[in-house]
């Protein structure tokens, strides 16, 4: 009895550690996905995004890992589970999406494997600007989602909704892909490159700067290092940092100019629409004035010409004959 009571805290601590690891894994994947979408948006301001873009390659790897997170395997005859591809889930869960591309991908001859079909699907829906729509539609089918994913999967929790919201920003990018290249090779695993999103934040309690620590590590690694070489390496590092900062500032100014250009173009389009509407309204009012004048003239003639004896009638008649007809 005492031994069982001793094992309970161990099991609870193990379960807590497992839950924390799963939560950290979900948070890491979702955070790096947001960073990846941000880099794609930034890069799209300067060039077209295609398969040769490293930002896109990394984004696809991240998305594949998210869609494959805690996916249930397929049970075999011997009781073992073989791994599934996320395409099997997308193919079933997104079958009711209006005008979907599921059948087109299934009929593609150059993508025989399930993983290759999933990669082709990602590229097609990105070019159609409908990736977020497909993910949202799949998440709404809770029964199918539970059938394909284990408890604690990203697609099972609130992180799935956050994922769909994050992917909406990709609808502003014009993608261009070739669906016959090596990028659809299903034998290559999806490996995430975290290095573009890592940034070291120096502690406030540190007594030396990053540059001094790098110089120290560089000099300690080689006995033949001289002060001149260390100083040269430090100057090169400083120059690279300065160039990187200048490049970042230039990109920010360029994006700001693009945003201002888009705002001004939208403002001009709005003003042109307002001007066209005002011109149409003015023409309509002129036509109403002509019709009203004609009706007034007909009324005067119907009254038998009595308006000629009335001074106010003569004024009305004079105003009628001065109306300019189109």
Lowest mean per-residue pLDDT among 46-55, 67-76, 80-89, 234-243: 234-243
φ and ψ at residue 265, rounded to 5 degrees: -65, -40
115 CB-near residues (< 8 Å, 6+ apart): 85, 87, 186
pLDDT of residue 326: 47
Question: Does the pLDDT at position 234 exceed 60?
Answer: no
- Note the pLDDT tens digit of each residue in 291-323: 888 787 777 777 755 555 555 555 555 555 554
Instruction: Report the alpha-carbon distance of residue 132 to residue 139 in Å, rounded.
Output: 11
* pLDDT (mean) for 12-25: 76
Question: Does the pLDDT at position 7 exceed 60?
Answer: no
- What mean pLDDT value characterizes the chain? 79
- Note the pLDDT tens digit of each residue in 135-156: 999 999 999 999 999 999 999 9
Q: How confident is the model at residue 223 (pLDDT cuts 50, 70, 90)?
A: very low
- Note the pLDDT tens digit of each residue in 254-282: 887 887 787 788 888 888 888 888 898 89
Question: Does the pLDDT at position 8 exceed 80?
Answer: no
61 close to 190: Cβ distance less than 8 angstroms: yes
Taking each helix axis from N to C end, the angle separating 131-140 and 86-93, rounded to the nearest 10 degrees, works out to 80
Q: Which is more confident, 324 or 98?
A: 98
pLDDT of residue 134: 96
Question: Does the pLDDT at position 123 exceed 70?
Answer: yes
Q: How confident is the model at residue 222 (pLDDT cuts 50, 70, 90)?
A: very low
Chain CA centroid to CA 103, Å? 25
H helical segments located in 176-310: 210-220, 227-302
Tokens of 255: 């994006």
């Amino acid at each position: 009895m005492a031994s069982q009571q001793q094992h309970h805290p161990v099991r609870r601590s193990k379960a807590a550690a497992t839950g924390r690891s799963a939560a950290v894994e979900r948070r890491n994947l979702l955070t790096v996905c947001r960073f990846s979408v941000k880099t794609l948006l930034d890069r799209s301001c300067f060039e077209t995004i295609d398969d040769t873009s490293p930002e896109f390659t990394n984004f696809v790897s991240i998305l594949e890992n998210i869609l494959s997170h805690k996916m249930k395997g397929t049970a075999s005859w011997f009781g073992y589970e073989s791994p599934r591809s996320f395409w099997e889930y997308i193919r079933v869960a997104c079958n009711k999406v209006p005008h979907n591309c599921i059948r087109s991908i299934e009929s593609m001859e150059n993508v025989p494997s399930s993983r290759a079909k999933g990669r082709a699907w990602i590229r097609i829906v990105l070019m159609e600007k409908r990736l977020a729509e497909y993910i949202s539609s799949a998440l709404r089918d809770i029964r199918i989602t539970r059938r394909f994913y284990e408890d604690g999967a990203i697609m099972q929790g609130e992180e799935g909704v956050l994922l769909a919201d994050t992917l909406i920003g990709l609808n502003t990018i014009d993608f261009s892909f070739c669906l016959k290249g090596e990028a659809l090779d299903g034998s290559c695993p999806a490996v995430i490159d975290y290095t573009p999103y890592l940034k070291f934040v120096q502690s406030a309690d540190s007594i030396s700067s990053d540059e001094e620590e790098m110089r120290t590590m560089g000099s300690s690694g080689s006995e033949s290092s001289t002060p001149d070489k260390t100083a040269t390496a430090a100057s090169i590092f400083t120059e690279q940092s300065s160039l990187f900062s200048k490049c970042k500032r230039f990109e920010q100014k360029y994006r700001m100019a693009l945003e201002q250009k888009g705002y001004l173009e939208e403002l001009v389009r709005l003003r042109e629409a307002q001007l066209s509407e005002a011109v149409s309204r003015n023409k309509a009012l002129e036509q109403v004035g002509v019709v009203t004048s004609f009706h007034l003239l007909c009324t005067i003639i119907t009254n038998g010409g009595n308006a000629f004896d009335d001074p106010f009638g003569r004024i009305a008649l004079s105003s009628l004959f001065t109306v300019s007809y189109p």
